[in-house]
Every structure is written in structure tokens, then in C-alpha cells.
Structure 1
Amino acid sequence: MFETPFVMVGTIVTDPIHRRVGDQQVVKFRVASNSRRRTTEGKWETGNSLFVNVNCWGRLVSGVGGALTKGDPVVVVGQLYTSEYDDREGNRRSSVEVRATAVGPDLGRCNASIVQRRRADAEAESADAGAETTSDDDETDGVDDEIEGGGLPLTA
């Protein structure tokens, strides 16, 4: 599988979905990025769009899954690759995906409060996360809790 380092600034266009794959958890969502440029008349013109499926594993599951929702402006860092699969009718398909290593709010387009997790809190959260996760067949994200203080947690 070919992977390349990738950074994307965009907007989450689907609700993040929690899933379990084997004994691991993943949060999946789709991000759109649109290019814009200023014309010679000084007006903004929309250019091309890029839509990417983002997969968050490990410690990103709780931070991203608990803080970000559809419509949020984000910066995504990770490895870009093409995922190939067969659809329900047996047709070969592919999609552009990112295995995220970091995801955060785009502070140029929103305000955020940072609530850092202590290491012990993060470990306890990981142990409890299995009870909040849904299977691959369930389309709900399973997260209804708000972050104390209304801030967005950042994972490190």
C-alpha cells in the first residue's frame, strides 16, 4: 500500500462514527476542502474540491470523537492512501483515505478552549471506551457527553 504524508485544512461533512474493528476502536468521518482564489476584479472564485475519508485510531478516538462534529473546521495530519474494496454488487471501488496522526480545530475559522487530559485520565478513558463504542453494523456514534467547560480536547 502506498502512503504519503498529508496535511488538509477543511470542514467535517459527515457526523463522526465510532466503530470497532477487531479489538481496536476507530472514529471515521469525511472532510471537504475547497480551494479559492481572488480574481483580478478582487472577487473570490471557488476552485476544485477534495473529499477525503479520515480514520482516527488510538488516542485520537476519544479526543476527536468527543469534541468534533459535522460542520467543524479542522486541520488533519496523517498518511494519505487509496483504499480498494468491492461494493455490494461486486464492483471494484476505491476511495481516498487518511490515517490521521493529528486532528484539531482550525483556529483560523473557529474559537476553541483547550482542556488537556492528564495521563491517568486518558488511560482510564481508554479502559472505559469499550462500553461507549458501537460495532461495524451500527451507524450511531455513541457519544452524547459534552466536554466539561465546553472546550475541545487536544490529543498529544
Structure 2
Amino acid sequence: MFETPLTVVGHIVNNPERRQVGTQEVIKFRVASNSRRRTADGGWEPGNSLFINVNCWGKLVTGVGAALGKGAPVIVVGHVYTSEYEDRDGNRRSSLEMRATSVGPDVSRAIVRIEKPGYTGPNPEQAAINGTSVAAADVGGDEDLKAGDDPADSGDGAADRVSLSVPA
């Protein structure tokens, strides 16, 4: 079967809902992606919008549930499909759905602090050049990553933590 990959950049528009489906958990939320375009006078006007239902399974359930909520700016990668169903009145309906393979905060729209075993945060000299605070980002982990280490997997089976703050 062919799957349609898609990356969506937007905001979560509802509180993520965590459910049990058989022996697995799923967390579901809706993302709005709104485009803008330049006008002839150099200003901006709203463009098209995309609303998509996102389903997260496996390790994503824990990460999304712990770190993201309504209003969070996100980047979601996954495969899209049309879900067809019958509503309460017996009418056939369909909705655009995405089974996420990756979900993360959009760091162009939020300040993110990663808490991960083995991750020590940004280099203090580079942080000073960029004007960022190392103290806020340095969350521990005395071990250096070595060649061949997977920085996305701490190996302990536990989810890494992400703190998200959105500038006003």
C-alpha cells in the first residue's frame, strides 16, 4: 500500500486526548496550519488554512502528552489518509487524518528546553554569541555523546523531556 507523507507546521487547536484502543494508547489532537501571503503594498494577508486530525501511537503518546498542549506551535510529520465514517444521523462523512511519525515543538515560534540523559545543552560560548541563556538550557548529563551514539535515544526506554515556552 502506498502512503502519502506530509509535514504540517501549525498550532495545536484543542487539548490532546489520550485514549486506550485495545492494548495500545493513542493521543489525538487537531492542528491548524495557516498561510499568509504578501500583498502588493508589502503587507500581509491571510491565505489558505489546513485543519488536520493527528493520531500519535507508540512512544509519541508519552512525549506529546507530557510536552504539548492546546496552542503549542508544532511541526508534525506523518502519513495522511481520509477517514470515512457515519455520523449520528446516518450521514456519510469524511475527515483528513494523519498518523504521526514525528511531532515536535516549532523552535521558530517557541523557546524549548530539552531534558535528556546525556544532553548537556548548547556550548556556553555559542550561546553567548547567539544571545541565549545557557543556564536555562543546560539540563544535565555529564557524559559526552560519542561517535555512533544515537542522540535521539537515551537507551533507558524513558521519554526525554521538553519544556516549551511561547514568547508573548
User: Structure 1: which 5+ runs fail to align?
Assistant: 126-146
Moved more, 90-99 or 2-11: 2-11
Aligned to 1:65, the other structure's residue is in SS state helix
Runs of 4+ in 1 over 4 A off after TM superposition: none
The 5 Å alignment of 1:119-138 reads 119-122=155-158
User: Structure 2: which 5+ runs fail to align?
Assistant: 118-153
1:151 counterpart = 2:167: no
Q: Compute the TM-score of the two structures, normalised by the length of structure 2.
A: 0.71
* 2-structure distance, mates of 1:91, 1:36: 34
Q: Compute the TM-score of the two structures, normalised by the length of structure 1.
A: 0.76
Aligned to 1:88, the other structure's residue is in SS state coil
* 2-structure distance, mates of 1:62, 1:104: 13
User: Hey, which of these two has a bigger chunk of helix by percent?
Assistant: 1
1:87-128 deviation per Cα after TM superposition (whole angstroms, max 9, x unaligned): 111111100010000000001111100112633252xx7xxx
CA positional deviation for 1:151: 2.0
- The structure that has the greater radius of gyration is 2
The 5 Å alignment of 1:56-135 reads 56-116=56-116, 118-122=154-158
Aligned to 2:65, the other structure's residue is in SS state helix
1:9 counterpart = 2:9: yes
Higher relative contact order (CA 8 A, sep 6+): 1
Query: How many residues are paired up?
Result: 128
* 2-structure distance, mates of 1:5, 1:13: 22
The percent identity for this pair of structures is 62
RMSD, aligned α-carbons: 1.9
Aligned to 1:30, the other structure's residue is in SS state strand
CA positional deviation for 1:2: 6.1
